[in-house]
Structure 1
């Protein structure tokens, strides 16, 4: 079993038996919040296709019970030990999503209500997006160069991880479906188009971009640190 598949299965399991703090029974259940109104879940971008969420859960704080009802993809940017409790479970599960872990929940088919408590001494940071389109649109994602490691592929999206050391490059490729980039580790990236014009980008951990399908682009790490990011294309 690959590391990515193992992480995906573990994340899926905890997102269906996930975080929490003090136990709550059915009799004492507080009102369930929509995910975009949950404490420490900040809506940061929205278009016709996706709604981006920046989840930053401070140390020793709780995100109370909230419901996921749309398909949801996410990337863990900063890790911290967490208690996750699904609604109806007798006890929370203790987990630690590793930095860079990627997950997907098909919550349009079966919704999930859970809560999370960060029991560590550093913030837990997750960047994710809900898919607003009710069904796939029939888009065909890219064939990416070999430096991209494909890490997820399902009926809604395809995703790749890219890690570039200083000076490393990716040959030009064309993105054939729109999607999202999420930065895990930042640095200075240069994107060069087919005419040779380059754009320098200063990437920060947790930053994201909506990226339309478009012309060929090549990539180069122009900084002195390793860049790591995850890119998704929507189907």
Structure 2
């Protein structure tokens, strides 16, 4: 069966926080009225660019000193920072915090277990950009083991009951070798380049040029990835379990 992917240009992501410092009491913040609270996908800076029964992929670009609306988060999700900034976060369930988001530091938040309503301010002087996806199918055991043990190209960076993630670094011409993906997933590009992919048993490769912050929505299958460009390539790959 032919494997399908959907490439999406996503120079952005959801509001994640790689590290926090400080804090203040919940009473110090302006608590929103019910009419001020929106779902995450309806926030001004959260833009859904792909959605199916398993994954809601979003891009968020928060401008310098921009502020999100108060938004409700109730699904597990994974954030991949592309461009980091300093951040201020107000929450209805936790103390307010100031922090710094760092590019490449992946953050997983299990909001299906404990939902939250929060608001985020980009306190930096540059755009805050991430790639994020929400996991719509709740619970575990829907797919497979999400295993990459048969190839050294994948370095695990996330291991949770519902999702696993790996970092891949490929030098020009380097291949991941064949590996099997048993559930739906997302590939997020930390650097751009010429990507070559081939399903197991196929002769021809498919080729496309990816930019930093682009993402592929991946279907299950067994395939190989090669860096067909002239520069090193880095991306993160995630698979639902």
Same structural fold, with TM-score higher than 0.5 when normalized by the shorter chain:
yes
Q: Distance in 1 between matches of 2:34 and 2:79?
A: 27
Q: How does 1:136-155 map to 2 (within 5 A)?
A: 136-140=140-144, 141-144=146-149, 145-155=151-161
**TM-score, length basis structure 1:** 0.83
Contact in 2 for aligned 1:12/1:104 (Cα 8 Å): no
CA-based RMSD of the aligned residues comes to 2.4
Change (3 A) 1:142 1:196: farther
Q: Distance in 1 between matches of 2:65 and 2:178?
A: 45
Residue 204 of structure 2 is aligned with which of 191, 197, 200?
197
Aligned-pair distance for 1:12?
7.7
2:91 is aligned to 86
| Structure 1, unaligned runs of 5 or more | 1-9
Residue 73 of structure 2 is aligned with which of 68, 73, 79?
68
**TM-score, length basis structure 2:** 0.81
Contact in 1 for aligned 2:32/2:70 (Cα 8 Å): no
Aligned-pair distance for 1:97?
1.3
Aligned-pair distance for 1:218?
2.0
Does residue 43 in structure 1 map to residue 43 in structure 2?
Answer: no
2:173 is aligned to 167
1:31 is aligned to 36
Residue 25 of structure 1 aligns to a residue in which SS?
coil
- Alignment size in residue pairs: 218
Residue 80 of structure 2 aligns to a residue in which SS?
strand
1:176 is aligned to 182
Q: Distance in 2 between matches of 1:168 and 1:97?
A: 30
Aligned-pair distance for 1:49?
0.5
Residue 61 of structure 2 is aligned with which of 56, 61, 67?
56
